[in-house]
Amino acid sequence: MSFSSIIAPLSSGLAVLPRSGNHVPHDLVLLRLASHHSQFRHVSFPIARVSVRVPRASSVVVDDQVAERNGEWKEKGGVLRVGVVCGGPSAERGISLNSARSVIDHIQGDDLHVSCYYIDCDYNAYAISSAQVYSNTPSDFDFKLESLAQGFQSLSDFAEHLAASVDIVFPVIHGQFGEDGGIQELLEKYNIPFVGTGSSECRQAFDKYNASLELSRQGFVTVPSYLVQNNEANEYELSEWFARNQLDANSGKVVVKPARAGSSLGVKVAYGVDDSLKKAEAIISEGIDNKVLIEVFLEGGSEFTAIVLDVGSGLDCQPVVLLPTEVELQFHGEVDVREKDAIFNYRRKYLPTQQVAYHTPPRFPIDVIETIREGASLLFQQLGLRDFARIDGWFLPNSVNVSSFSESNFGRTKFGTIVFTDINLISGMEQTSFLFQQASKVGFSHSNILRGIIYRACSRFLELASFKSVSSHLLPKRTKPSLLSEPLPKREGARKVFVIFGGDTSERQVSLMSGTNVWLNLQAFDDLEVIPCLLAPTSGYSAIVDSNEKDAEVRSRTVWSLPYSLVLRHTTEEVLGACIEAIEPARAALTSHLRNKVMKDLMEGLKAHSWFKGFDISDEPPVRFSLEQWIKHAKEVQATVFIAVHGGIGEDGRLQSLLEDEGVPYTGPGVIASKTCMDKVATSLSLSHLSKSGVLTINKEVRRKEELLRSPRLEMWHDLTTKLHCKTLCVKPARDGCSTGVARLCCAEDLAVYIDVLRESLLRIPPNSLSKAHGTIEMPNPPPELLIFEPFIETDEIIISSKSTDEYLHRLKWKGQSRWVEVTVGVIGKCGSMRSLSPSITVKESGDILSLEEKFQGGTGINLTPPPLSIISDEALTRCKQRIELIANTLQLEGFSRIDAFVNADSGEVLIIEVNTVPGMTPSTVLIHQALSEEPPMYPHKFFRTLLDLGSESTDSVTSTMNGGDLTTVPDSLVSPSPKFLKIADEREEISGFRGHFNRIASHKVDWETLKKCSKIWIKNPLNMALLLWITCVAISGAILFLVMTGMLNNVLTKKSERDAWFEVSNQIINALFTLMSLYQHPKRFHHLVLLCRWKPKDVSMLRKIYSKNGTYKPHERAHMLVVIVLLHVNCFAQYALCGLNLGYKKFERPNIGVVICLVIAMAAQAIAGVYCIVSPLGKEYNFEFDEEAQDQKLTNGVPQLKSSSFIPLENEPEWKGGLLDLTNDGVSMTNLYLLCGFCVFGYNMERLGFGNMYVHIATFFLFCTAPLLIFGLAATHFDNVTIREALGVTGIVLCVFGLLYGGFWRIQMRKKFNLPSNRLCCGNPAVTDCAQWLCCCWCSLAQEFRTANHYDMVDNKFRQRAAVSPLQDGDDRAIQLSISSPSILVGEEGCLQSPMVKDIVIINNPMKPPVVPSTIQREDITIL
């Protein structure tokens, strides 16, 4: 952006006078403002140096303005209007967004109204909604600000708006334009009150070189430094500087950093003169700053940081330094020597890893701590700072050589030297930042400290002085403050919530962020008492789920109930260490002593302020429990557990199972869903049958770490790429998440690097270690035992540029060649009624895999929520959300979860990556973005409250759910799911163990209303009606048989002949009913036997759904299924033999021994089959420790398939084709087929409509229409009584006629599935009408159904318009011709590509371009003729 383009709009406001009444030449002020930003430093423009003091918004104001302000206060009823300004041109604008989010979360209240403003990297100002503040990074919305926000023509217009709209501005811009005096000068020019230090003081303190000179003049010890400016470095002078500071010119360690940048941006370690100059030039060439500082590397020192609060009144400054924090860099395992020379850089400051640990207060001698506090306070005063600041420095023990340091006195103690190095004028204000860590240690909550800073700033401006008396309270209503000596009161009657986080996996640091965020948000509710709890990491944590870990070991895990201040830490290890310190007497005494001293210093200044009502955080010790004790405690206090433990026992179902055993409500999915989703292979297996519905899974190969370590690398690479039919692999741990250990492997050398990392148990893979550029890849520790290899899915790069010279369309660039994008989607609701939120398109900033930062760390990563229309259409987005809901309901998710997938931008097909049952809930998580994109927006505190309430409600409804309760009701805060997926959920799996089952049933009352509603729904199903009728007939006949056999009817049936007749009639009826049931079931059992023998991937998936618990893989499952299926066949044949004995012999001729044997075998076979399904591996849970058999099981049914009709327009309102009586209009041949081969036509039609196997339908329908007459007819021959014979014969005929209702039932299913028009001719009920049509004219109904199916193509269980038939096609067969290395093949009706070596695809006579499937088979080109 040119200098004139900035000045021109600003100059339009020259006629505007400052509200102080003093006129200042605006052009000079603006030129001076511009001169201090790197954006303008490259412009050669003469700037006049005029000694002009810009009037600051201060107490020097005219009386009429004060009066005007006082009048405004009265009109507004004492509501303070705060404008939070974030963003800025520096690379820290993402962190600035995080700070703004935290400020808004904690200061909003009835007495304080917040407006949010954003300044982009080109200095354009916008008024944005508070919802935008919850974006992950400014790049999420930079490109669409023109359409989302109110823009201002110039900074002058922006300032005028602020002057009219807010009472005070809280700048949270880090770095340029925030801490260098830029925004402050603009606000001063327009006499707008603001929080923080004035512009001139900011300029001096922000420049590290100038600040160092000033500190030296003030008598502070400073670090030797050398200034490089505008690439004008003198190598000889730098060499002399190295020599003076006793540094080797070739290898001496120094720190190279920009003089005017913050948050450790651009800070590097250099070695020797040449390396120092090279890195200094890099900083300048990258545009970070044109002034670079080279400083001595402080070897052997300890870094610290201290927050300073100004608690004075008016213009009197009274700084108080809080408890400083020691910053300890940590190194684990064998690391490079230069890694140990690392510094506290941007990544270590803002990403929670084990690379850094904080200690508050520091582990320094108490005299050193007091000297740090004294020095920081003095520095704050002498530099003219205001309100608050953060001051960083080093403590160098006497063992460190400081002879080359400045000879100033302040900072030298008997224990060592204290050096202040950096002054942060706008400290980071993320949830666990130093400001809140140190403030909580001395009694301030987030709200208390932030509001205190704002009110202190107000006291410096007479315009806002009246606010002191108007404001009646400092803290939100939920907070009950106390004075220093008073204990904090407990809230009575509040519902308790335990938020648990931490654990053992590599995700435990993200878990801490999630739990902290949930805890802070839920505190907004007066009716909740939220208690944070740490699931302590064990020594030697693991990312692997140990399925053999004993239940007792899990129950003995340690849980800490935490006080406020101990939660605000960097890592779980820090929290655990702080807990141990807090109960260690000596350390606890030291902390208490320092805390009391700081609080006393604070009270001396704060007691003069009427707005200060006291401290609201007490000094409580943590409480230690075993996990078992903690769960029992939760039960005793009737707490709901909010699970924020990522991975491990938090997501594999073990924690959920323990909570269920005690009847403690918890958030998120249940035991079964958690176990399934934790294992990526199990997830794919559970969803593999949904490929026809547009839900695809990726081929996977599972390998053990030992196998990878011992196998030749090249051979392993060839084996994997051959089996997966790809050239590039994606490797990931089988049971871990958060991008830990996930990498793209492009060649055998990459595989070798990854295996070496596993062998050496490295904690991370350094950037660009693999052939394809990538960032740092965090690794699980210890390395995972099982790894998954998948084909790498290539998606098109999405480029977002906020510096484009063009408008919106050019700021978002997407080539869209493959047509696939990566998305992450939140699902929320009850089991069976999960609703998809708006998907977020994830944009990778570096490499091909989303990094840990991009997923969870605010200020990094880009998420487009909702997806822009330029990438995915509304129609495709709707289909995508429907498939996401199908996935969620298939997996029996409930509460909330996150689904990661690839989505086709044209068809909405979903290629599943993984499902997270405890998704990240950090302040920057996409779940928050998606909730805010709903109508109306759901802000974080409301979102988490909804999740909490869903968890509580799910426990209350367990009893009704297990009995088939109605789960379609969704909370009022949620919109109902799409109608396609509003179904009754399947009965939940039985929870682990008899004890848990008994507790579940015994602890809840029967909900009769729900049971009644459920029964009504159940009986409406025609199959259930038939089953109920069958059970009733069996019960009546069995009762009569029992009464006759026991002689209880002897008084009624006095003659033996009568009793014999009734016995035989009842016996024959029961025999006929059980035989018919066996006949109706037998075709399916034969089909299952065929599938078992064939054992293809689709067959395996179908059999697992029927015989395996949860439909997942079981060891030696084929053999176990064979046992069950054989037993079921034995049951049928034994029943047929029993039927033969009953029909072939009269009562007294019938061999009793044969009857007993057949009866016992029939009953035993069925019972044994049922028991075997439960006690065998088919009924057990496994964590997929794959054996040889499992290794041979390939998930090939998950291969994405290109369908010939996938791109034909959807038929939104299909119609029945032809009238019901148009039987003869289909031609003579078809009419004859309907009349003579109706069963075969029916079966064929059912199979192509997706209702099951053709032969099963043919055989079952035939038996329904013939078997009753045969069975009851033969039974009638046993009776001499004509009435009985005729009754049995008529019964057989009637049942045969009603067998036509089988066709009616499937007509109902066809009508519902494809949304065909309903007919209410009979009883006003469409289902009754469908059945009546089949009873009255079965051939007419069959013809109409067959005709309708012929008229449409069926794709994704929906009718689509049939494509025009090519002259090259034969009849109705539609084909896609494939040009491959081998002879061409034709793919017909199903349209599936079977060849793994497809080179070119030619779609004949299809004008619409199909999307390229991100293939697990290598496809190189798609051509449209």
For CA atoms 501, 504, 507, 508, the dihedral sign is positive
Three-class secondary structure assignment of 505-528: CCCHHHHHHHHHHHHHHHCCCCCE
The pLDDT of residue 1311 is 84
Nearest to 443 by CA among 319, 580, 309: 309
Q: DSSP class of residue 267?
A: -
Instruction: Give yes or no for residue 62 having a pLDDT over 70.
Output: no
* Res. 22 pLDDT band, cuts 50 70 90: very low
Instruction: Give yes or no for residue 300 having a pLDDT over 50.
Output: yes
Report in angstroms the alpha-carbon separations of 552 from 659, 933, 1141.
Answer: 14, 44, 56
Rounded to 5°, the CA angle 364-368-374 comes to 135
Task: State the amino acid at position 145 in one-letter form.
Answer: L
Instruction: Give yes or no for residue 160 having a pLDDT over 90.
Output: yes
The pLDDT of residue 127 is 94
Least confident of 156-170, 1034-1048, 1145-1159, 1173-1187: 1173-1187
> Within a 13 Å sphere around the CA of 1075, how many CA atoms are in the beta-carbon half?
23
Burial of 1265 (0-12, 13-18, 19+ CB in 10 A): buried
Cβ(1257)–Cβ(1251) under 8 Å?
Answer: yes
Most confident of the ranges 436-445, 760-769, 1208-1217, 1260-1269 = 436-445
Report in angstroms the alpha-carbon separations of 838 from 602, 835, 911, 912, 966.
Answer: 47, 10, 17, 16, 26
For CA atoms 344, 348, 353, 357, the dihedral sign is positive
Instruction: Give yes or no for residue 237 having a pLDDT over 50.
Output: yes
Report in angstroms the alpha-carbon separations of 821 from 809, 902, 1268.
Answer: 18, 5, 56
Q: H or E element: which one contains 258?
A: strand 253-258
Higher pLDDT, 370 or 773: 370
Cβ(309)–Cβ(297) under 8 Å?
Answer: no
Strand ranges inside 1283-1425, DSSP E: 1352-1355, 1358-1361, 1376-1380, 1385-1387, 1398-1403, 1421-1424
- pLDDT (tens digit, 9 = 90+) per residue, 702-726? 899 989 998 898 999 999 998 888 8
Cβ(836)–Cβ(920) under 8 Å?
Answer: no
Kindly state the tokens that stand for 491: 């809230």
Q: H or E element: which one contains 995?
A: helix 994-1002
Burial of 773 (0-12, 13-18, 19+ CB in 10 A): exposed
User: What Rg do the C-alpha atoms of the chain give, in angstroms?
Assistant: 38
* Res. 1387 pLDDT band, cuts 50 70 90: very low
Rounded to 5°, the CA angle 172-174-177 comes to 95
* Res. 812 pLDDT band, cuts 50 70 90: low
Nearest to 440 by CA among 530, 587, 306, 567: 567
Q: Say which residue the tokens 């070739």 belong to.
A: 250
Most confident of the ranges 483-497, 502-516, 738-752, 891-905 = 891-905
The pLDDT of residue 476 is 42
Cβ(136)–Cβ(924) under 8 Å?
Answer: yes
The pLDDT of residue 1073 is 86
Torsion (CA) 538, 540, 545, 550 in degrees, nearest 10: -60
How far apart are the C-alpha atoms of 126 and 109, rounded to whole Å? 23
Q: What is the mean pLDDT of residues 602-628?
A: 89
Burial of 320 (0-12, 13-18, 19+ CB in 10 A): buried
**φ and ψ at residue 749, rounded to 5 degrees:** -65, -40
Least confident of 701-715, 768-782, 921-935: 768-782
Total Cβ atoms within 10 A of residue 1391: 18
- pLDDT (tens digit, 9 = 90+) per residue, 1228-1238? 677 777 777 88
Helix (H, G, I), strand (E, B) or coil at 1055: coil
Question: What pairing do the DSSP bridges indicate for beta strands 302-310 and 253-258?
Answer: unpaired
How far apart are the C-alpha atoms of 29 and 9, rounded to whole Å? 14
Please give the share of the chain, as a percent, with pLDDT higher than 70: 75
Q: Say which residue the tokens 């205001």 belong to.
A: 386
Q: What is the mean pLDDT of residues 294-300?
A: 89
Residue ranges in 57-181 assigned as alpha helix (H): 63-76, 93-107, 145-148, 155-165
The pLDDT of residue 77 is 53
Q: What is the mean pLDDT of residues 1334-1342?
A: 85
Q: What is the mean pLDDT of residues 587-596?
A: 91
Higher pLDDT, 993 or 192: 192
Q: What is the mean pLDDT of residues 734-748?
A: 78
Instruction: Give yes or no for residue 972 having a pLDDT over 80.
Output: no
The pLDDT of residue 226 is 92
Please give the share of the chain, as a percent, with pLDDT higher than 90: 30
Task: State the amino acid at position 661 in one-letter form.
Answer: D
Three-class secondary structure assignment of 366-404: HHHHHHHHHHHHHHHHHCCCCCEEEEEEEEEECCCCCCC
The pLDDT of residue 542 is 44
Q: Say which residue the tokens 């398109």 belong to.
A: 841
Cβ(543)–Cβ(740) under 8 Å?
Answer: yes
Report in angstroms the alpha-carbon separations of 33 from 41, 42, 187.
Answer: 11, 15, 11
Helix (H, G, I), strand (E, B) or coil at 1352: strand
* Res. 277 pLDDT band, cuts 50 70 90: very high
* Res. 1045 pLDDT band, cuts 50 70 90: confident
Q: Which pTM value belongs to this model?
A: 0.65
How far apart are the C-alpha atoms of 67 and 78, rounded to whole Å? 15
The pLDDT of residue 1270 is 87
Rounded to 5°, the CA angle 406-408-412 comes to 100
**φ and ψ at residue 1095, rounded to 5 degrees:** 55, 50
The pLDDT of residue 488 is 53
How far apart are the C-alpha atoms of 627 and 649, rounded to whole Å? 11
Residue ranges in 473-560 assigned as alpha helix (H): 508-522, 551-555
Q: What is the mean pLDDT of residues 936-948?
A: 91
Q: What is the mean pLDDT of residues 808-835?
A: 79
The pLDDT of residue 134 is 83
How far apart are the C-alpha atoms of 1158 and 1176, rounded to whole Å? 26
Tell me, rounded to whole angstroms, the distance of Cα 416 from its chain centroid.
Answer: 48
Q: Please, what is the average pLDDT of the chain?
A: 77
Q: At what angle do helices 940-956 and 508-522 cross, to 10 degrees?
A: 100
The pLDDT of residue 353 is 52
- pLDDT (tens digit, 9 = 90+) per residue, 494-507? 899 999 999 888 78
Q: What is the mean pLDDT of residues 809-828?
A: 77
Q: What is the mean pLDDT of residues 578-584?
A: 89
The pLDDT of residue 800 is 63
Cβ(270)–Cβ(247) under 8 Å?
Answer: no
Cβ(1275)–Cβ(1306) under 8 Å?
Answer: no
Cβ(219)–Cβ(409) under 8 Å?
Answer: yes
